[in-house]
Every structure is written in structure tokens, then in C-alpha cells.
Chain A
Amino acid sequence: MTKPPIPLTQLRDGDRAKVTARDMCCEDCEYLNAMGLTDRCELRVCRVGEPCIVQIANTRLGLASSIAERILVSRVDDSEPR
């Protein structure tokens, strides 16, 4: 069951989540898309803080917290299939 969207920075280490929206300019969105962080992609939080480290499939990204707080996600329960 997915929960209401929250900023990525409010998750904890180990949480899984699905990207629902990104509050940033088109250029930044396109760059994140190209790196694999697309809308509706599923990610795992490796580290919250500065930087925020997330894993999408086999891609690991370090995000400045000012970027991470503008990515809205819905937490995914661990019981849900990947």
C-alpha cells in the first residue's frame, strides 16, 4: 500500500519508495531522468542527509539535500513485491 507523497529527505535509511513528482526545472528533471531517477521509478534509500544516497536498480546516486527535498515520493512497504 503506498502512502501520501513526502519529500525524499523524510525517509529513513533502508526505506523503499516510488517517485511521484519532482519540484524542479525541466533541465534538472531531464538530467535526473537520464540518470535513471524518472517519475514512478522505485528507489531504495541508502543514506539520508547530505548527500542523500539512493539506489535505483543498479544505479547509485548521490543527491545534494536541496535536490532530494524537492523529490516527492510515496513510501513502499517492504511486504510489496519489487
Chain B
Amino acid sequence: MTSDHSVNVAGRGGALAPATALRRFALLGNPNTGKTTLFNRLCGMRSRTGNFPGSTVEARFGHYTRQDDRFELVDLPGLYGLNLERPESAICREYLSGHLGGTPAPEALLVIADATNLERNLIFVNQALQQGLPAVVVLTMTDTAERRGVSTDIPKLASRLGCPVVGVCARTGEGVESLVEAMRAPALATGALSDPRDAQRAAEWAGQVHEEVAQIEGDPGPDRLTDRLDRAFTHPILGLAAFVAIMTGLFYAIFALASLPMDLIELLFERLGDLISQVVPEGAVRDLMVDGVVGGIAGTLVFLPQICLLFFLITLLEDTGYLARAAFVIDRLLRRAGLPGQSFIPFLSAHACAIPAIMSARLIPDHRDRLATILVTPFLSCSARLPVYVLLIGVLFGDRPLMAGLAFTGCYVLGALAALVTALIVRRTILRGASRPMVLEFPPYRTPSLRTALLTTWDRASLFVRKAGTVIVGISIVLWWAGEYPRVEMPVALVEQRAAAEARLATEPEAAAEAIVDVERAEAKVRKRESIIGRVGRAVEPVFGPIGADWQLGVGVLSSLLAREVFVTSLNVVIAGDADDDDPERVRARILGATRDDGSPLLTTSSAWSLLVYFVLAMQCLPTLAVTRRETGSWKWAILQFGWMTGVAYVAAVIVRQVLLAAGVT
């Protein structure tokens, strides 16, 4: 145990009488014991989520401060056992023993036990108390236990374990004052514990202790309501119908409720860009600030409403107890593709953004299952693809809303199919083996906690902004620079055109202003063409040719490696030299009327279809690649993901175009 405080040890049979207060507590407990609810009650928003060094195992770090009390709290992942051969158990063992480099070990433990399921929880309490750290055992969900007629003789339990025991209801805050008082003097457990390596003896010990301290009023008998709900929610037909209905409602809520805040965020950053343009003199610095930095930040934050809503609703659903049942329903489908049922949470999140989706794959216990999930998640159509879908489907079916709707649905289905087929291939080749059969605890059904959902949403959103935002802003600055430089001399004709327009300002101000705008658009097109991205676009034009794209569309595809929605803006600039006018009807009209260098239409039916298929399937998001690298611990998987998705997208797009051309559709 490492500590920067001196501690008096009273010896066996006595509690510690600290010379100075212990500060750093680790919260340990089984999953679904209310540990996180208690952590939120103590720390509120004064917390952050972080990884242990060199791993993807997460913990939450917070602090409790009130008058003379200041405690640092570390909410460890819920564990069924400290001795299990699982990454999270191994990391927690190292952390508790102080062998995790760069992370100071805790000075004491809060060992959380569910009062409604004390006997099972005592097995873990037994393990935790033998870690050699002073502890306070916390019985949570005391309100639920009381309603069920279950009471625990807490003083007797404290005497049996030889350390302080406190009962709390984290939802209401009842008992938290007593807990804080106990945290001033945690104690090394001096009671007769059982050898945790002998599971049978440990289970018998837990049964004995439970019999001594627990009183149950009457025999409530089997919980028939929960039985009926479980049978319904896991039924092959009824369960699937419930799942589809709930997920449809969830998606509808996300897209319907997020659109207004997304529009407000875009407006806010547009105004910020305008303000900077007024204050900072024209030049490279202003362009960097407005287009690079502000544009990059806006491109990240615009997805925040969807991400917040998604995590809020998922947390609520999880808190009800439903998601564990739903995992088995969807497991029947996903297992055929070699994926576990738990993959559906990342897949769900991916429809907002692949970045938090890939991060949420950490909950999948098996390493190969997790890797396979991460590799295929970006196939699912995220929000960033929507502007591209809107543009291309608008070009194809502008006046036929039914066909447009079907095309939209088809894009989502194609992405999901590609994910499942890729998973199947991956599990039969590089990640060979069947998906690990699921064993999940089904928590009791209960009313979800709004407070927990809000705090989790805050936590997840902060993590997204911190992790993804820094990457996206960095990449956006690089890609902005590649799209703006090198600066070249304007052609003589344009120079003369500008001079002529400016000369007419005094006599024909309106006409001159319009002419100047036309010149500026033409200049922007020249700059884009001669920029690094423009030159690369022209150099790789033969590669994009088979999918029906010329260098202008190629520039759009290359630019959208930052973020898919940049395709539309980039096309706007290349065709019209105007990044600011994003009115959908005007953009569509402009693109329909645009031509290639040889005078042929820029976008034809066949090229629009092949580009659409390309964008459904391609990995057009460098920030996602960066997150894949971090979550898998290796560039190998990120490169494989990029190469496979780009290859599949390209081949599919070529096939689609060639089939259409062969059928006489140009």
C-alpha cells in the first residue's frame, strides 16, 4: 500500500485511528450493485473517465469535498471476481497492489454490496477485504431491500467482518452522511474470512454469514412478473418485435430531437466564423482560424446532440434492466456472423458516430469478439454520411420521395449487411473461432435514474469532445492547409476580370459587386485545383475513373477523409468556388448543372449510384481510424480496417457502375 500519510495500525481486533485522514478510495463491487450511482452521489460532476495506462480498461476518477473532508474516489469497473482471468480483473489487481505504473494505488476501499442480494455479494466482499487495504463495506439498495422485506443486522455484519459497514440508498442519498463519517476511519478487516481461492468454501462462508445477519420477512416465492417479462423479452418472435419497436423509437427520438440543437450549433459557429472574419485581417491566419480551427471544431461539436441523446437513452434503457435481455435477442442474429450479442450496443451507437461506438466495444469481454466488432462498426451508416446521402439521393430521385426513402433505407441495410458479412469472413480467417457464448446477469427491472443517465451522458460527451475533438481539429487543420496551399498566381484573365469589376464599383456598385463575387468564386476554384489536394485529385483521376468520378469528385472524396460531410462543402467549392452557400436546393442545382473538363455532365445516374455505394461502404473518417488504433493498441488493425473498407467500397462501386452502363443507364 502506498501512502503519503502516516497511519497507526491498531492491530487485529481494532479499527485504525488515523493520525491524518486517508484520502484515496477505490470503489469495488459486482456489476449492478449501485456502485456508479453511489459514485455519482458522492462526486456529481466532479469526475472524469480515463483509462488505466496501457489498457482500454476504464475507471472514473472523482473527488468528494465538503468542509474538512476531501476524498479522491476511483470507480473501478464492476467485477464478479478479483481473481478471474479477465483483463479488467487483472488491471484492478495490479492497481490495488500498486503495481500499475503511473497510477497511485488507493489508500482504502469502499466495497459495495447489494443489500437485496447479499449472499452472492459477500463472495466478492470476502475477496476485496483480503487485499490488505483498510475498507468500509457499503450496503446499497437498502430501500429496495426494505420493500422486499429483507433487512440486514448491520452492526452484526460489521462485527463479523471486522470493519465498518454502512447502509446507504444512493438514489435518495440516505445514509451518505454516515458513509462519509465511516470514510474518515476505514479499517483493515479483522473478521474471520474465507480463502478466496476455494470457491466452494467461500460460497459456504458467504451463506453462513448471510444466515447470521439477514432477516427475510416471509417467503415471497418466485417473482412471477419478472419471469413473464423475461419470457416475453427473450422470446424469439415477441422479443425481436419488442426489440425492433424499442430501437425504432430510440432512433426516431434521437434524430427528431437532435436536429434543432444541431442547427443551433452550426449557426453558432457560423456566427463565430463571421465575427473572426470581421476582427482578424484578411490573410492566411484568418483562413486558418475560420476554415481550419473553427470549421474543425464545428465539425466535431455538431454531432454532440445526437451523441448526448444516444447515451442518455441507452443509459436509461440499461438502468431499466432491459438491455441485458435484449442482448440475447440480438445474439441469435449476430452469432451467425461470429459476433456476440453485446456487439449491438456499439452498433447502435455507430448510427450517431463510430467514434463513441468503437469506444463502447470495451464492454465485450472476449478479445477476439471485441476486435471483430471494432473492425466492422464503421460500416454502419453514421450521421456524417447523411449529407452525402441527401445530396446523391437528391440527384437521383429529387422529385420522387418514395424512391428516395427506399434508397435511404437501402443505404442503411447495405452498411449493416457489409458489417455482418465482413464479421463472418474475419471470424473464419484472421480472428478464427466462434464467438464466446454469453453468460449475463439479468438485473431486476426498475425505474431508471434520471440523475445517473444525465451524469453518464455528461461524462461520455466530455470524453468524446476531449478525445475525438483534439484529433479532428488537428486533422482538419492539416486537410484545410492541403486544400488551400500552395497559393499560386491567378491566371491573367482572372486578374483582368477583377480589375475591371473593381473599376466599375463607383459607377455601377451592384453589378460590380456581383462581378467581384463571380471572380472570387473562380479564384477559389483555381486555388482548390492547384492546391495539394487538387493536384493529388488530378493525379489519381485514373483511379477514380472506373467509379465515374473525375478530379473534381476525386477532390471531394479525398477531402472527406477528414469527415464525410466535407464532401458536400468541398464539391461546392470545386464547382462553384463557394463554401458558404450550402442551401441544399442551390447546391443540388449547381451540381446537376456542373460539367467536367471535357464538357460532359459532372454527375450522371451511374456515377451518382456508384458514388453513393462508395460512401456507404468506405472508411472516410480519419478520426475513426485514430480511435481504432487506440482501442486495438495497434496500427495494424486500423490499417486493415481502412484497406478492407476502401477496397470493398471501390470494388462495389465499380461493379454497380459497370452493371448500370451495361444495362444502358449512363
Q: Is the CB of A36 within 8 A of B120?
A: yes
User: Counting CB contacts under 8 A, is A58 at the interface?
Assistant: yes
Per-residue 0/1 for A21-43: is the Cβ within 8 Å of any B Cβ (1 yes, 0 no)? 00000010011111110111100
Could you tell me the dominant secondary structure of chain A's interface residues?
mixed
Q: Which residues on the B side are within 8 Å of A51 (C-beta)?
A: 234, 328, 331, 438, 440
Query: Could you say which of B230, B437, B438, B440 contacts A47, with CB atoms under 8 Å apart?
Result: B230
User: Counting CB contacts under 8 A, is B257 at the interface?
Assistant: no
User: Counting CB contacts under 8 A, is A63 at the interface?
Assistant: yes
Q: Which residues on the B side are within 8 Å of A62 (C-beta)?
A: 234, 324-325, 328, 438-442
Q: Is the CB of A53 within 8 A of B441?
A: no
Given A39-B200, A53-B234, A64-B123 contact (CB < 8 Å): no
Given A33-B199, A59-B117, A64-B331, A47-B439 contact (CB < 8 Å): no
- Cα distance A46–B230 when bound, in Å? 8
Query: How near does chain B come to A37, taking the closest CB pair, in angstroms?
Result: 8
Q: Is the CB of B328 within 8 A of A35?
A: no
- Cα distance A32–B123 when bound, in Å? 12
Q: Which residues on the B side are within 8 Å of A40 (C-beta)?
A: 200
Q: Is the CB of A38 within 8 A of B200?
A: yes
User: Counting CB contacts under 8 A, is B394 at the interface?
Assistant: no
Total interface residues on B, CB under 8 Å, equals 35
The chain A residue with its CB closest to the CB of B438 is A64
Q: Is the CB of A50 within 8 A of B80?
A: no
Per-residue 0/1 for B578-609: is the Cβ within 8 Å of any A Cβ (1 yes, 0 no)? 00000000000000000000000000000000
Total interface residues on A, CB under 8 Å, equals 33
Query: Could you say which of B124, B227, B440 contacts A61, with CB atoms under 8 Å apart?
Result: B440
Most B CB contacts (10 A, CB to CB) among A13, A56, A57, A64 go to A64
User: Counting CB contacts under 8 A, is A67 at the interface?
Assistant: yes
User: Counting CB contacts under 8 A, is A44 at the interface?
Assistant: yes
Q: Is the CB of B120 within 8 A of A61?
A: no
Q: Is the CB of B439 within 8 A of A67?
A: yes
Those of B111-158 within 8 Å (CB) of chain A: 116-117, 119-120, 123-124
Query: How near does chain A come to B115, taking the closest CB pair, in angstroms?
Result: 10
The chain B residue with its CB closest to the CB of A63 is B439
User: Counting CB contacts under 8 A, is B5 at the interface?
Assistant: no
- Cα distance A64–B324 when bound, in Å? 13
Q: Which residues on the A side are within 8 Å of B444 (C-beta)?
A: 60
Q: Is the CB of A57 within 8 A of B119?
A: yes
Given A38-B200, A58-B116, A59-B117, A46-B227 contact (CB < 8 Å): yes
User: Counting CB contacts under 8 A, is B12 at the interface?
Assistant: no
User: Counting CB contacts under 8 A, is B504 at the interface?
Assistant: no
- Cα distance A38–B84 when bound, in Å? 15
Query: How near does chain B come to A31, taking the closest CB pair, in angstroms?
Result: 6
Q: Is the CB of B120 within 8 A of A31?
A: no
- Cα distance A46–B225 when bound, in Å? 11
Query: Could you say which of A30, A36, A56, A63 contacts B84, with CB atoms under 8 Å apart?
Result: A30
Query: How near does chain A come to B223, taking the closest CB pair, in angstroms?
Result: 8
The chain B residue with its CB closest to the CB of A62 is B440
- Cα distance A22–B444 when bound, in Å? 26
Per-residue 0/1 for B642-666: is the Cβ within 8 Å of any A Cβ (1 yes, 0 no)? 0000000000000000000000000
- Cα distance A13–B437 when bound, in Å? 21
- Cα distance A58–B331 when bound, in Å? 25
Q: Is the CB of B124 within 8 A of A34?
A: yes
Q: Which residues on the B side are within 8 Å of A67 (C-beta)?
A: 437-439
Given A30-B83, A58-B116, A64-B199 contact (CB < 8 Å): no
User: Counting CB contacts under 8 A, is B85 at the interface?
Assistant: yes
Q: Is the CB of B84 within 8 A of A61?
A: no
Query: How near does chain B come to A70, taking the closest CB pair, in angstroms?
Result: 9
- Cα distance A58–B234 when bound, in Å? 20
Most B CB contacts (10 A, CB to CB) among A33, A51, A61, A64 go to A51
Most A CB contacts (10 A, CB to CB) among B230, B325, B439, B443 go to B439
Q: Which residues on the A side are within 8 Å of B236 (C-beta)?
A: 50
Query: Could you say which of B81, B116, B438 contacts A30, with CB atoms under 8 Å apart?
Result: B81
User: Counting CB contacts under 8 A, is A2 at the interface?
Assistant: no
- Cα distance A62–B120 when bound, in Å? 16
User: Counting CB contacts under 8 A, is A66 at the interface?
Assistant: yes
Those of B432-452 within 8 Å (CB) of chain A: 437-444
- Cα distance A49–B233 when bound, in Å? 13
Per-residue 0/1 for B329-341: is the Cβ within 8 Å of any A Cβ (1 yes, 0 no)? 0011000000000
Most A CB contacts (10 A, CB to CB) among B203, B230, B332, B437 go to B437
Q: Which residues on the B side are within 8 Å of A41 (C-beta)?
A: 203
User: Counting CB contacts under 8 A, is A20 at the interface?
Assistant: no
Per-residue 0/1 for B341-358: is the Cβ within 8 Å of any A Cβ (1 yes, 0 no)? 000000000000000000
Query: How near does chain B come to A30, taking the closest CB pair, in angstroms?
Result: 6
Q: Is the CB of B227 within 8 A of A50?
A: no
Q: Is the CB of A38 within 8 A of B227?
A: no
Q: Is the CB of B328 within 8 A of A50?
A: yes
Given A31-B80, A47-B234, A36-B439 contact (CB < 8 Å): no
Q: Is the CB of A33 within 8 A of B120?
A: no
Q: Which residues on the B side are within 8 Å of A49 (C-beta)?
A: 234
- Cα distance A44–B331 when bound, in Å? 23
User: Counting CB contacts under 8 A, is B20 at the interface?
Assistant: no
Q: Is the CB of A32 within 8 A of B439?
A: yes
- Cα distance A57–B139 when bound, in Å? 17
User: Counting CB contacts under 8 A, is B487 at the interface?
Assistant: no
The chain B residue with its CB closest to the CB of A47 is B231
Q: Is the CB of B85 within 8 A of A30?
A: yes
Q: Is the CB of B439 within 8 A of A33?
A: no
Q: Which residues on the B side are within 8 Å of A55 (C-beta)?
A: 222
User: Counting CB contacts under 8 A, is B226 at the interface?
Assistant: yes
Q: Is the CB of A27 within 8 A of B85?
A: yes
Q: Which residues on the B side are within 8 Å of A58 (C-beta)?
A: 116-117, 119-120
Q: Which residues on the A side are within 8 Å of B328 (C-beta)?
A: 50-51, 62, 64
- Between A and B, 29 residue pairs with Cβ closer than 8 Å are A13-B227, A27-B85, A31-B81, A32-B439, A34-B124, A35-B80, A35-B120, A35-B441, A36-B119, A36-B120, A36-B123, A36-B203, A38-B203, A39-B200, A41-B203, A44-B222, A46-B227, A47-B231, A50-B236, A51-B438, A55-B222, A57-B119, A62-B439, A62-B442, A63-B437, A64-B331, A64-B437, A64-B438, A67-B438
**Which 3 pairs show the lowest CB-CB distances between chains A and B?**
A64-B437, A34-B81, A34-B80
- 15 more A-B residue pairs beyond the given contacts A44-B222, A50-B234, A62-B234, with a C-beta to C-beta distance below 8 A: A13-B231, A27-B85, A30-B83, A31-B86, A36-B123, A49-B234, A51-B328, A56-B120, A59-B120, A60-B443, A61-B441, A61-B442, A62-B324, A67-B438, A67-B439
